Structure 1
């Protein structure tokens, strides 16, 4: 692995510490980012991702813990002394300056020649498709244009670390999809190191080498996009990552000769050859009162001989069908990449392969199995 550029060591952030109702926004966060890596902080509103980004930038003080950039503690330094560039969600452009002057502002301290500055500004403006607004002022352009100008101002800097707070939240989907590829190429081509905050899974998956999933101020899992989907560390990550979300059902296990039965609600019984599960996993399941099984919608097969489920919705989304049905006392969603003509009220057969099951502890939510083997 490349050299660690950013190292967060047991970072805590508590707002209103001395009040009767302190808010602990970030809890004992340990995270490291390698040189040249793109990392996404992903989570819902209030999960602690923006507080983390602002502590790295120096706009929020840490309550405890250390932030190291290139091995140097920076958590007590002013933002200007950290050599960090940040694109703010709220844009923070200078109103008296044109868009071009805003983007070029940071380059003036580098004492570059005017022609070199103009060339760099033109390059980043072309990348983000804002060449036609360079002479305009922030107050006269749209929110999406302001966001791209703020992003350009951050990316143009020669900084150790680039922090991007919801960098494309104001853009229309088509432009966002186009710019994602361009921005990733720009960052990778120059060997930059970047952290982006987003609530958009598509954006995180498209841009990031690794994704830190956060909830309630706690890091749930820090892994590659592939592992987050295929090997979620806990039930929260399993159900948060993926669209549509993972289907989950409480279950109990019982041995039946050469088979293992997983009993769900409403009398649904999934029967598998015992050989489909490792010996350690079988012992774990049989010794548990209750656990939770999860299966991705893309792995839910609709077959004539499957377990009965009653359809209540069928959505064609242009390139795939989402079929929702009542199964084992709750909803199960199956995704197909062709048209599926199942009408509401129709009974279909559901087949769940043992190799597609994720199994979680009912109490802690911790994953202990993926595809028939202990996690």
Structure 2
């Protein structure tokens, strides 16, 4: 079993008094192994940055413990936690050049100058900032400052590398290039990193595991593939994925070996009961009403499908996104070929039982994925 680098145990963060303050992080428990890249993913205000700042020591945990390599650090100042940080605000030293900023931690450890030069040159090449090493922070762009801050964090030997929106100021092409380089750099050296981002593409590309947060609560902590294919709840299911998952409220009925999911406006999805595991059928019949989800790429046009009407048709260069009026709402389909459809055109769609995600209507907890019981 891999060594645990970070353990967060029942951590709460309140801004203001515990009795009446803002509860920003709620009963957070998670463990990160050596060599992992973990992304804290969520929308603004979900608690991800507060969590990172508590790990770094810039924010105090209101309750609970934070341990790094078995050493409790939640009462220690940042300088005693042995973490390297690249925060969104850059925090470069204005009187120092970019090169001096990146090399600062190495010089503090009295590393030989030749080795410092070699490491700085490697990081500068990685981040494509070789041409600005002699300049000062005030004379370079926000994106260049961000890369310099990232370089200063990555060059350090630390138990944890904490990266807060490390590429948020970069143009998409450069960001895509650096994602691969940075992941290779971290993996090649066996570093352990935590990335805060609101960009699910970045989280999927960089992270071994993703911690999805909302309202200060950890919603799911798993691999990108598991979160996409087996979301723990309705929030995670709809938050992860682009375009987002289609969802519909449905009644559950069974008759003559058929299981029918009744939608709004008299529409229904009708399947053989055998397409669902016995435990799933029992769970659905017991609830009576559920929320049905299906990914846009799993919605297919078919001659023998349910009727829908095209509302919009967008060709994005490599795929077509079709929005259609369906069951009192809208449904989005993704097709890889360019499709000649106009608003108002009738289509019929098919949703296979193996592509269904079904959630409890009250709690949002996952009931089943692809006809099998959710874990």
TM-score by length of 2: 0.99
Structure 1 residue 304, shift from structure 2 partner: 2.1
2:14: which partner in 1?
A: 14
Equivalent residues of 2:253, 2:288 under 8 A apart = no
1:159: which partner in 2?
A: 158
1:333 aligned to 2:335?
no
Structure 1 residue 21, shift from structure 2 partner: 4.7
Once the two structures are superposed, the pairs formed by residues 163-178 of structure 1 within 5 Å of their partners are: 163-178=162-177
Structure 1 residue 64, shift from structure 2 partner: 0.7
Deviation string, structure 1 residues 46-80 (Cα, Å, up to 9, x no partner): 00000000000000011011000000000011100
Once the two structures are superposed, the pairs formed by residues 26-45 of structure 1 within 5 Å of their partners are: 26-45=25-44
Equivalent residues of 2:12, 2:62 under 8 A apart = yes
Structure 1 residue 373, shift from structure 2 partner: 1.4
2:258: which partner in 1?
A: 259
Q: Which ranges in structure 1 are unaligned for 5 or more consecutive residues?
A: none
Structure 1 residue 258, shift from structure 2 partner: 1.7
1:373 aligned to 2:366?
no
- The alignment of Structure 1 onto Structure 2 pairs a total of residues equal to 374
2:178: which partner in 1?
A: 179
Structure 1 residue 289, shift from structure 2 partner: 2.8
Deviation string, structure 1 residues 70-117 (Cα, Å, up to 9, x no partner): 000000111000000000101000111000000001111211011111
Q: Aligned equivalents of 1:78 and 1:201: distance in 2? A: 31
Structure 1 residue 287, shift from structure 2 partner: 1.8
Structure 1 residue 259, shift from structure 2 partner: 1.0
1:115: which partner in 2?
A: 114
Q: Aligned equivalents of 1:44 and 1:330: distance in 2? A: 25
Deviation string, structure 1 residues 318-342 (Cα, Å, up to 9, x no partner): 1110000011111100001111111
**1:31 match: secondary structure:** strand
Q: Aligned equivalents of 1:204 and 1:287: distance in 2? A: 37
1:49 aligned to 2:68?
no
TM-score by length of 1: 0.99
Q: Aligned equivalents of 2:12 and 2:257: distance in 1? A: 51
1:3: which partner in 2?
A: 3
Q: Which ranges in structure 2 are unaligned for 5 or more consecutive residues?
A: none
1:144 aligned to 2:173?
no
